[in-house]
Each structure stands twice: as C-alpha cells, then as structure tokens.
A and B are shown apart, each in its own frame.
Chain A
Amino acid sequence: MKKAIAVGIILLVVVVAITWYVFSPRPSPVIVGPKIELRQSVHGSRVPQDVNKQPLSDVSNPVPAKKSEVILAPEQTNSTQETNHVSFPNMTESNIAKNHKTETEADIQPMNAVSQNRALEIARGAILKTKYASTLPITIEDRNGQYRVKFPVDKSVPPGSRYRGPDYAAEVYIDKQTGKVLEVHVGD
C-alpha cells in the first residue's frame, strides 16, 4: 500500500513538472548585429495627398506608409526597402520638421546617383589644365538629371572699363546617374 502511494506521489510530481514546463513563460532570445533604425518617410511630397486630408489629431486610423528609408550601419550601403510600419496622417511639413530629422539632399537622391562632390572631382578632371579664378566659388547646378559644374573667371576690370570676355573659365555637364561627362565648354 505504501509503495502504491509513493508511486502515485511521484507521478503527480512528474505531471506537475511537465505542466509547469509546458505553460511557463520563457525569456526572449538576444539578437546580435547592427542596429537598424527605421525612419518614417514624411518629407514633402512623399506623404500621399489623400492622407494629408485627415486631421492631425486623428491617430485612431493610421495609414501604412508606402516606403521608408533605412539608415544602416556606417559600413553598409545606403538603400531603401518596403516596410509596413505606420505613419500618422495629415502631418504637414512644418509640423514634422519640429520633431523629426529632415531629409538632406543626399538622402533623397536615387540609388547610385553621383554626389555633387564626386561631380566636382569629375569636372576637375575634365577641364584638364584650364585655368579658372580659384578665389571665386565653383557652382554646381543640379537640373534635368545633369550636373552643370561651372568654373569661374575673373571679370574684374579697371575703373571706366567694361569686361568683354567669357562668362566662365569652363563648364562641365555630367550625367547625374552615371557620372559620365556629357559636355565640356571652355570660355573665350
């Protein structure tokens, strides 16, 4: 009889232990790797027009964002990816600017676009030894998918005279996507 009672207690303990093991909460696993920061795409026209019509305070019906940019660890390449996180509707640009980081020109360039600094390097190579007024600013215009890098010329003249000469020492047109030099103009 005593033996039967002992076996019953052991079985009860085993059942309780199994039940506890099955239904008890467990700690989350640790993820090791670069920190990924999701940034809401809220700048300017990237906010859909129909979303803009909703009141700012209406957060009960959030609208999924179309696209977000992902800022990766410094050693990784900047890229974009589709996500399903939410954005709050009807945030005007001015509202957002107070609380969120504003995108820079470099942020919104298409993938693989040549940066302005790179365009300047390319342009310097393209004008060969053409001299320009190094004390004056070099201008870079970004339009129609091209950079126009303009190297200045000194137009200062003695009093009572008028400068008749080139508008620039040189200007270089560069394809913004490929970095290819499209045209080089030298003033005269």
Chain B
Amino acid sequence: MTKANYKIRATSVDNTNFYDEVNLSVIKVDLEASKNVLTLKHDRECNLEVKTVPVDISADQYKIEIKRTNSATWYTLSTNKTMTPWLANIAGGFHLRGMAKIGGTECYSTNIVVVNQFPTYTQIEGDADVRSATDTEWTNTLTDCTETPNQRRERGFWLWINTSSNVYEHDAVVTGDWVGPDDGASVNLPSRPTDVPADPAPNATGAGYYVASFHTHTPTTYRTVGRGVGPSGADNNADTADGVPGIVYDYVESPAGSNSIPMGYPKNSAAQRYLSLGYERRGTP
C-alpha cells in the first residue's frame, strides 16, 4: 500500500457549490510468522510480529491470538506487538491472527495457519536423554539375562515429551515375564496413555505428549537357538495401533546380511536402536 491517507470530498447534487470533505486513513494489520510448520521440542521457536501499514502509526494496544483450526474459540497468546519467540508447546493445527487497536478500533489481520507436529523417530532416537534412558534399559536387559538360572526378560516403557520443561521423560519401566532358554520373550506395554492434559488449550504453556514406545529384545547367550533381530511383525502392529513410532533395542545382525544373531551370541556384542513402524511420527491432532 503506497498511500495510506486520503481526502474524500462529497459534493451536493442540489447545489454544486457546496461540498463536504473527510480525511480517511487506511490502516492494514498483518501478523507475520517466521515459520508455519514447527516440531515440538526440536523446532519449536517461531517469531511472531503484528505489523501495521503505515508502519509509523501509533496503536493503543496489540494482541496475538490463536485457535485450533477446527474450533471457533480464540485464545490470547500475547498482548505485545511481538513474540520472539513464540514456543510451540501444544501440538495441533492452528490459526493465528494479530490485532492492533487504533483510534479505539480493533483492527485484525487475516488468519495464518501454523502446524505444530510431533517429533520424528529420528529426532526422538537421537535425543541425548532418550539415548541415556534406553541405554540403561538395555544394560538392565543384559544384566537380567543369566545362565544360572537360565532366564531373561524384556523391558520397555512409554516415552513422552514434557513440553513445559522441553525434555523427554518416560513412564515406569515395564518388564516382561521371566522366560527360560526354550521360550520366546515378550513384553506387554499398555496402550498409548492419554496425554496430560488430554486436550490442552492452544495457548497453554505446556503438556505431556506420548510420542513413542520403547522395548528391548533379549540375548541368546545362554540359548541353543539363534533368532532374527529387530522389530517383529507384532511389534510393528502394536505401534501401528498406538499411532506412534516404536524404538526397539536389539543386537546388530551377525553375520552381516543375515538379519539374525546366532545362538550363544556374546552378551556385550554391538547393539542398536531400531524403528518399529508404526509411524515415522505420531499424527498431528
């Protein structure tokens, strides 16, 4: 917009010698966002700014608002002109808008769309806290596996993001039944727990979101049979049903290309985390 001020003259149709004039200022309000797609924890910072045209106009008040795309209720994110940054702590698809109150009139921007998505398997698996927690349970799984008595068991838990503190946490460790050398091992995790709170307000400062399952597989060190490595079909099915990626801690195949490990495989052999699909990331609510 190049001209913001106008003079409007209205001439009488009865007597063309008479006219009235009024000065008109056209003001435009925009909300600018530095990004439209964000990821909880890993890419959550977004700069927001309410901009007016003309830029030097004096506003009595600013406001930045948010609502879910499937809702009509607006929530206030800020009463400042800018948010640098706004932190994407609530997952979902949102509309954002800016408001500038000028001369007693609230002028709103058009809505912009922003999506706050859950992290991917790669982001979750690569997190230092997640690695530490899963390494610990792998170590415990190796410790659980003994020759006398000849037993072993799987371990697992649910991983969640605390978006208030912006860290990954996990629920209590679940252990599978103790099994002998002639049994397959398994663990029954609960279905994906409900988020806390289940439906947070768009402008809430944080929530707890369950984003991945985790469990270990067991050694063959004291078994007389080898086995395949990585997630089973049942693992994949469970994570598909829960709508999340799963992390499975298991040995690296040996020999290469076999997709398995032999019987009597040394406990401390190389191991890794596998993606159990599921999904690459939990779907955006």
Contacts and interface: CB of A to CB of B under 8 A. Distances in A.
Interface of A: 127-131, 153, 155, 157-158, 160-167, 169-170, 184-188
A131 B191 CA distance: 27
A187 B182 contact: no
A170 B186 CA distance: 14
Contacts of A131: 182-184
A158 B188 CA distance: 8
Contacts of B242: 162
Nearest to B240: A162
A105 B186 CA distance: 37
B110 interface: no
A187 B187 CA distance: 13
B279 to A, nearest CB: 15
Contact of B187 (A155, A165, A170, A185): A165
17 contacts: A129-B224, A131-B184, A153-B186, A161-B190, A162-B190, A164-B215, A164-B235, A164-B238, A165-B232, A165-B234, A167-B232, A167-B234, A185-B227, A186-B225, A187-B184, A187-B227, A188-B184
Contacts of B238: 162-164
Interface string B183-221: 111111111000000000000000000000101011010
Interface residues of B, number: 33
Contacts, number: 87
Given A130-B183, A165-B235, A188-B184, 15 more contacts: A127-B225, A128-B182, A128-B224, A128-B225, A160-B190, A161-B188, A163-B238, A164-B232, A164-B238, A166-B227, A185-B260, A186-B184, A186-B223, A186-B227, A188-B228
A130 B217 CA distance: 17
B234 A164 contact: yes
Top 6 nearest A-B pairs by Cβ distance? A165-B186, A162-B238, A161-B188, A166-B184, A186-B225, A187-B184
B154 interface: yes
Nearest to B180: A131
B226 interface: yes
Interface of B: 154, 156, 176, 182-191, 213, 215, 217-218, 220, 223-228, 232-235, 238, 241-242, 246, 260
Given A157-B188, A165-B185, A130 B225 contact: yes
A182 B234 CA distance: 24
A71 B228 CA distance: 45
Nearest to A166: B184
A170 to B, nearest CB: 8
Contacts of B260: 185
Which of B186, B215, B223 has the largest number of chain A CB atoms within 10 A? Answer: B186
Which of B156, B182, B233, B241 has the largest number of chain A CB atoms within 10 A? Answer: B182
B228 A185 contact: yes
Contacts of A169: 184
Contacts of A163: 186, 188, 234, 238
Contacts of B220: 188
A18 to B, nearest CB: 87
B186 to A, nearest CB: 2
Nearest to B241: A162
Nearest to B228: A185
Contacts of A162: 188-191, 238, 241-242
B254 to A, nearest CB: 15
A164 B225 contact: no
A153 B241 CA distance: 20
Contacts of B187: 164-165
